[in-house]
Each structure stands twice: as C-alpha cells, then as structure tokens.
Amino acid sequence: MENFFKLKENGTDIRTEFVAGLTTFFAMAYIIMVNPTILSQAGMPWGAVFLATIIASTIGTLVMGLVANVPYALAPGMGLNAFFVFTVVFGLGFKWQEALAMVFICGIINILITVTSIRKKIIKAIPSSLQYAIGGGIGIFIAYIGIKNAGLLSFISDPGTYVQLGEGGTVIASSSAVPSLVTLNTPSVLLAIFGLIFTVILLMRNVKGSIFIGIIVTTLLGIPFGITHFGSSMSLGQAVSELPQTFLAAFGNPGLVSLFSDPGKIPLVLVTIFAFSLSDTFDTIGTFIGTGRSTGIFSDADLKALESSKGFSSKMDKALFADSIATSIGAIVGTSNTTTYVESAAGIGAGGRTGLTSVVVAVLFVISAFFAPVISAVPSVATAPALILVGIMMISSFKDISWGELSEAIPAFFAGIFMAFCYNISYGIAAGFIFYCIVKICKGQAKEVSPVLWISALLFILNFVLLALL
C-alpha cells in the first residue's frame, strides 16, 4: 500500500488518508439521496437512480484513486442533474433516455478532449470570468430549487399586472405570477426551516459532515410530524429490480437510437451536448486547480500540462481522464454527469494527499447501498437545505469576477445571474457567450475572442432561432 500510493513521498500515512476519506464521504453523502430525488422528477425510477448514483460514484472514485493517485471523489454533479431534468427534459422536451444518451456522448467527448490538443484550445477559449460566472450561476439555480423544494414559495398574481397584445390587438396575457413567501404555518415548511437553521449552525461550528448530519436529523424529526414515511421506503432488492429500467437505457429507443432521428433537432442536440460538456469540464478543472495548487497535490508541471501536454504524462491528465470515464459510466447505468466533487476539499483539508483517500470514499459508497430502506424514506424538505447551502457554496466563485468593470460584469451577469432568472442553465451560458462577443466587438477587441467562442456563440444563437420556429 505504501509503495502503490507513495504515502511517505506525499507526506501522509494510512490513518490520515482513512480519516480524510471519511471526511470527504460525509461531506458529499447527501448526493445519494438528493440525486434520485431530482432525477426521479423526470420520470426515472428512484431506486434505479439510487443504485446508479452509487455505482457511478464508486467506479469513478476508484479510477481516480487507483489510476491518478489523487484524493478526489466523484459523484453525479449538482447543477448538472438539475440541467438534465429542468432544462433538457422539461424545457427542451427530450426523453430522459435521450438525455442519458447525451450524457454518454458528453463523456466520450471529454475523453477525447483529455487525450488530444483540443482540450488546450477549449480551455484557452473560455475567459476565466465566464467560468466563474457559470459556477456561481449554477449555485443560484440549485439554491432556488432547494427553496422551492422546501415549500417556501407560492406564486401569486403580479400586482403590476401587464397586458400583452398579439396581432390585431388580441390579448395574449393579462397577468403574471411572481414568487412570494408562503405562510410559515405548515409542518413541512417549518421542518425545512429547522433543517436549514440546524445545518447552518453545524457549518458555522465546523462540524464535519454538517450537510449529511442535517439531512439525517431533519429526516428523523419528520417522523413524529408524519412527514417521514418509512412504510413507503424502498429495499435494496426493490432498487436492484428497478436498475434494468435505466441500465443501458441510453442506447435504446428512446435513447441514442432516437436522439438523431429528427434532422431538425440535430443542432439543438449538439448544443445541449456542448452545454453538458462545458459545465462538466470546467467544474472539474476549477476543482483541481482550486484545491490542488495550494496543497501540492498537483505540481506546477501538472498544471502546465493541463494546457500543453497530450496523452497521460501527468497526474492532472490521469485525473481528467478518470472524471471523463466516470461520466460515460454513469450514463450507462442511469444517471446524469458524474464529476469531481468540490467537497473533496474537505478531505484534503483533513490531510488527504493520495488516491487512498479516494479508495476509502469508494468503499463507503458501496456500504451505503445496503441502507436503501432508510435513505429512500428521506423527504424532499430534508434535502432542500442541502441544495440551498451547496448552492451558496458554489456562489462563492462570483468573488473572482471584476464586477466594477462593465466589460466583464455584463457577460458574467448573463452567464450567471440571468441563468437563475430564466430558470435555465444553458440559456445563461448562451447569453454569457453572446454578450461577451458583443462587448468585445464594441470595444474593438473582436480579435481577442477565440474562434471556439465565436462558433459556440453562433451555435447558441442558432439554438434560439430553432426554438422560436418550433
């Protein structure tokens, strides 16, 4: 074990790596419950997604630990699962099987990006301000979903009622709805508020596994209030029986077979796959650079290799490869993009420096599968605080944007904040790219925009045109 993971060389030992693995797992274990809750809204069977989440997380994390020998854990990404359900399935009208096919293709694309120089061109093409804006915008989006799941919002008629006229003066709409805070007098809402406050207290006291503990305590408190129903929970056997419904569903009809059957939808499919790939790629790169540089997990040579090397000449290359493989595996078993979790920073903070930390996390994911009857009984109001607080954590990337500089703030606004306003992640990314190009044209700096970004912006514009014509 010492020789394989090079523990001494990395200044760590077995005990430290074990504790780091526990810390990372409890920091991200909420995904075991939250991911099935989100994806099941698209019609996917809860038990199948539950197992798919564990399988994808286990395999991806094992590859990360055994191949790259770095202390990062993987699981279906928050934000990416929301994009899968609320944008791709609900917004664009794709079947969830077709969305899985897109995720699989995204994984293949990311593998190619990792082993070829295409990665270098893409990374250099996206301005850092837009990368930060996309990360923060997804945070707002996730937090908003959490607030809705907590039951804190109701929708009322807009006091500023407007009248929208069509051709010939025909009234198309005469009112609109705006969100409003609900009356705080129902058990489910009060339980969600308690869970949020309780989890905030744990986070402020630096309690390890705060989010996971918050979910568990809130769930248990929901029993006497009739919100948590163990009688309707799902056994491991039931979850296993559901798995065939999502396993290889990405390759059927509906699925990969039907995805490209309509020529008119092919541009929309390609743009959606691009949006999947963009979010997945830069979430991972940001996590690696943000946590790996200061701790020495990735050396300067590793970080330089991110832009210049081909193949697998560094730990960074191997780590990116592991992340890409996990995305495709997740799609095969039945879940949205599997990506490197920023919560890995918790384990790194506890001293994790090698892949042994990842192996410990993977083992804990396997063990969690045997607690399906308990996990499946967790109500959405118990996981809502997790969504809100994870969203808050992701919003921190906004701090790296120069909001006082309009040429940077305008594209960042559309890529981030506008994303939440229109309740659509890909629309935010599209608007950010388009306005970045517009700003550069106005400032006489069009030559500074990469051809990759121009092409992406044009694809997004084409997407809007197609949606308007459908």
Q: For 46-55, 181-190, 345-354, which range has the lowest pLDDT when averaged over its residues?
A: 345-354
Span 226-253, average pLDDT = 86
To the nearest whole number, what is the mean pLDDT of the chain? 83
How would residue 304 be classed by pLDDT, with cut points 50, 70 and 90?
Answer: low
| 177, β-bridge pairs | 157
Tell me if 287 sits within 8 A of 72, measured CB to CB: yes
Span 21-34, average pLDDT = 85
How would residue 169 be classed by pLDDT, with cut points 50, 70 and 90?
Answer: very low
- Where residue 168 falls (left for φ over 0; alpha for ψ -120 to 50; beta otherwise) is left
Highest mean pLDDT among 52-66, 70-84, 218-232, 312-326: 52-66
Q: Quick one: pLDDT at residue 166?
A: 47
Distance of alpha carbon 402 from alpha carbon 409, whole angstroms: 7
Q: Quick one: pLDDT at residue 131?
A: 78
Spatial CB neighbours of 261, under 8 Å, sequence gap ≥ 6: none
Residue 394 or residue 388, greater confidence: 388
Residue 177 or residue 193, greater confidence: 193
SS3 assignment for the chain: CHHHHCCCCCCCCHHHHHHHHHHHHHHHCCHHHHHHHHHHHHCCCHHHHHHHHHHHHHHHHHHHHHHHCCCCCEEECCCHHHHHHHHHHHHCCCCHHHHHHHHHHHHHHHHHHHHCCHHHHHHHHCCHHHHHHHHHHHHHHHHHHHHHHCCCEEEEECCCCCCEECHHHCEEECCCEEEEECCCCCHHHHHHHHHHHHHHHHHHCCCCCHHHHHHHHHHHHCCCCCCCCHHHCCCHHHHHHHHHHCCCHHHCCCCHHHHCCCHHHHHHHHHHHHHHHHHHHHHHHHHHHHHHHHHCCCCHHHHHHHHHCCCCCCHHHHHHHHHHHHHHHHHHHCCCCEEECCCHHHHHHCCCCCHHHHHHHHHHHHHHHHHHHHHCCCCHHHHHHHHHHHHHHHHHHHHHCCCCCHHHHHHHHHHCHHHHHCCCHHHHHHHHHHHHHHHHHHCCCHHHCCHHHHHHHHHHHHHHHHHHHC
Highest mean pLDDT among 228-232, 278-282, 332-336, 348-352: 332-336
Digit-coded pLDDT (tens) for 404-432: 999 999 999 998 888 778 776 667 878 89
| 339, β-bridge pairs | 75
Q: Quick one: pLDDT at residue 167?
A: 46
Digit-coded pLDDT (tens) for 132-154: 887 788 788 878 888 988 999 87
Digit-coded pLDDT (tens) for 323-342: 888 999 999 999 999 998 87
How would residue 174 be classed by pLDDT, with cut points 50, 70 and 90?
Answer: very low
pTM value is: 0.73
Q: Quick one: pLDDT at residue 333?
A: 95
Cis peptide before 36 (omega within 30 of 0): no
Largest CA distance in the chain: 79
> Which of 7, 21, 108 has the alpha carbon at shortest distance from 71?
21
Distance of alpha carbon 40 from alpha carbon 409, whole angstroms: 36
Residue 66 or residue 299, greater confidence: 66
Give the pair of three-digit tokens for residue 460.
């997004």
Please state, for a pLDDT cut of 90, what percent of the chain lies above it.
33
Q: Quick one: pLDDT at residue 172?
A: 47
